Structure 1
């Protein structure tokens, strides 16, 4: 499919979706949200074993939502915009394969929320992240108040949201907001190597692992443990389980489907 504000590349099980509005620092207007939603449809239709999300250009991952578009909204229009943003970002969160956010620059507001919805975050040394909405007279509206605290803890999340602080890559790593910081010119190759390594893992087991880990944020410990037992035993008898354990016993590398 052809979009003006999003590009999609699929190669050997790795699908890369790039928000492509570098002249607007890849801000998420309605057109871009719609294109991202359709790109996620396309990624699911492909044999996507790992999804990478990033931004075009040298300056921004996604600088945020489209403030010029939001400025004159009333409550009803704002509610519709919040629902659209939530719907698309939730699709990233629940995508049926691991999602890596390659944070190559500014990730503020809705851009930070998009990164938070990924399973893993790798930052360029130039990256700057933040939930900066407070200085616009609003609060995070696409999941930031919920996902941020789950990732970095309540105190840190409150400070980031209350003060609207912008966090550089080094501090983001220290806070647990990202998992790796790499040189800017090495970001693409680093993320590709990570994606290729994940793509070689058994896809159904990875999907199951993602769903089980997500239960930490969606239920209590007892229910989560019950879920883990059920999905763990359910993997026995699959081709990947049989291959993985046979390869281990035979002291060779597994060849997963």
Structure 2
């Protein structure tokens, strides 16, 4: 694995899959400014690599991520009280930048959530395309119990994902959601033993990487626009994206391979 920046994030590319690993296990991979900076750099670098067709986001050690570094957040609050307004470039802005980078990535993303992903870590997982969670995971937005509220995107993404009523229940109660319930309401895709979460995330990413990369990229764009676009506009957008693929190598290869009863060899062009 290759270290990114200050070493708080590791990257490994295995054929068409890139693993991005939070690497601060002594702090349960809690996110501080250095880790967030490294994470944004890692996502940007990996997503620009044309050989990569799927990304996993994992945590080194027994826990995915304990959320934001509590000491850092306390110090941030104390510093804010000493000035009239907060400066730009805060840790909250960094988390937002990372979340946006995940959401706008060129390739699909899979998060492996083992044992813990509270608060900021919960919000970090939301823009991913797939979430694999362990059956013992502490998963939820608990910020109202910490003197604030989730503002790394959860108040906007959760209602779109699970409906307003359930989103209010999670955000305003500050309670963890049971992983099985999270699966039932469509918040996560799979629940499994903590010991196999990372492997299952890699397996899913490998499966995704076998599909046509241009098709997946445009499908994700259309799907992500679905909840924010009127139906007629969404259908027009979908149609326009589809036409972009008609004269590509992968389009011809996909149908030719099916007619010849063989596996397609997609090239992303």
Q: TM-score, normalised by structure 1?
A: 0.94
Question: How much does 1:115 deviate?
Answer: 0.6
- 2:230 corresponds to: 220
Q: How many Å separate the matches in 1 of 2:172 and 2:8?
A: 31
Q: How many Å separate the matches in 2 of 1:76 and 1:135?
A: 22
- 2:155 corresponds to: 145
- 2:61 corresponds to: 57
Matched, 1:48 2:62: no
Matched, 1:185 2:195: yes
Q: How many Å separate the matches in 1 of 2:247 and 2:206?
A: 26
Give the alignment partner of residue 90 of structure 1, picking from 100, 117, 121. Answer: 100
Deviates more, 1:214-223 or 1:135-144: 214-223
Residue pairs, 1:93-242, within 5 angstroms: 93-242=103-252
Change (3 A) 1:200 1:65: same
Aligned residues: 256
Question: How much does 1:222 deviate?
Answer: 1.9
Matched, 1:26 2:36: no
Deviates more, 1:21-30 or 1:158-167: 21-30
Q: How many Å separate the matches in 1 of 2:177 and 2:60?
A: 21
Q: TM-score, normalised by structure 2?
A: 0.90
Decide whether the 8 Å contact of 1:70 with 1:78 is kept in 2: no
Q: How many Å separate the matches in 1 of 2:139 and 2:166?
A: 13
| Structure 2 residue ranges without an equivalent (≥5) | none
Give the match's secondary structure for 2:56: strand
Decide whether the 8 Å contact of 2:44 with 2:101 is kept in 1: no
Aligned-pair Cα RMSD in Å: 1.6
Deviates more, 1:92-101 or 1:33-42: 33-42
After superposition, give the CA deviation of every residue in 1:95-126 in whole Å (9 maximum; x if it has no partner).
Answer: 10000011112111110011101011011222
Q: How many Å separate the matches in 2 of 1:78 and 1:54?
A: 29
